[in-house]
Amino acid sequence: MATYKKKGYKKEKKSGNDLDYLSKESTTAEVFTSLDEGASKLEKFLEKNQKWIFTGLAAIIVLVAGYIWYDQNVKIPTEKEAANNLATAQTYFDKGINTSDEKEMKADFDKALNGADGKYGFAQVKEKYSGTKAANLANYYMGLIYYKNGDYKQAVSYLSKFKSDDDILQPTAYGVIGDAFVELDQPKEALDYYVKAAKASDNDYTAPLYYLKAGKLAMEQGDKSAAKKYFEIIKEKYPESKEARNIDIFITQTE
């Protein structure tokens, strides 16, 4: 009798592509499940805290609206008023700085500082309009007036309070502080401020001017190495400046 071998049942094997597909399906399902859970938690959080959320948003809106109102109705008008009051003091300052008569200069400076003819001086502008651009400028002018009047400590005090990104005014303020420290016989502080003034703005007017002052002061203090460094900066970076015309003479003196 013929006999036949019974074939055993074999499980169908999944191909590599099928396994990848199933894995991706599983991962995608997990992602969507996670997103659903996250969304559900967010909804519950918003529902639970909506009172505080809306209160916070309302507070932000009020703050922004308040800032805009303050800016338009208080800050800008105050800045304009302060600038108008500063103008008269500046006129007296300009007269004083441009006269060769010392008596007239002091009289004009006094008017610029303390006011005249019912108009504010720098001192009143600084006090009444504290925090404005005009009050900041008042510090600058008051510092220059005190320097011209020989009150070097007051000059340093006011000029140190002046802050600006102007390419001429800020370096000048630092430079005059340096000059005041020279008068006060504080050469180290003076040198620091001359260098600070030179670095405050990279222009052909103030930078070489204060590098030259720094170099000369360093020479007087016996620091030829520092002096040479400052003189060479003028020669290399500011060859068209008036300070560069005789700079080789100064450099030779440091060797």
Residue 63 confidence (pLDDT): 59
Burial of 124 (0-12, 13-18, 19+ CB in 10 A): middle
- Between 204 and 37, the more confident residue is 204
Distance CA 58, CA 38 (A): 26
- What pLDDT, on the 0 to 100 scale, is given for residue 53? 58
What is the model's pLDDT at position 21?
47
Name the CATH superfamily for 86-253.
Tetratricopeptide repeat domain (1.25.40.10)
- Provide the pLDDT for residue 163: 97
- What does the alpha-carbon distance between residue 216 and residue 179 come to, in Å, rounded to a whole number? 13
Euclidean distance between CA atoms 254 and 234, whole angstroms: 14
Compute the distance between CA of residue 243 and CA of residue 134 in angstroms, rounded to an integer.
Answer: 33
pLDDT value, residue 79? 86
Higher per-residue pLDDT: 193 or 22: 193
How wide is the angle at C-alpha 140 spanned by C-alphas 99 and 200, nearest 5°? 110
Amino acid 118: pLDDT: 87
- The answer, yes or no, to whether residue 246 has pLDDT greater than 90, is yes
In contact, 133 and 83? CB cutoff 8 Å:
yes
Residue 178 pLDDT: 98
Measured in whole angstroms, the distance separating CA 233 from the mean position of its chain's CA atoms is: 25
Listed by start position, the domains of the chain span: 86-253
Per-residue model confidence (pLDDT) at position 78: 78
Mean pLDDT of the chain: 83
Residue type present at position 55: T
The pLDDT tens digits of the residues spanning 152-207 come to: 999 999 999 999 999 999 999 999 999 999 999 999 999 999 999 999 999 999 99
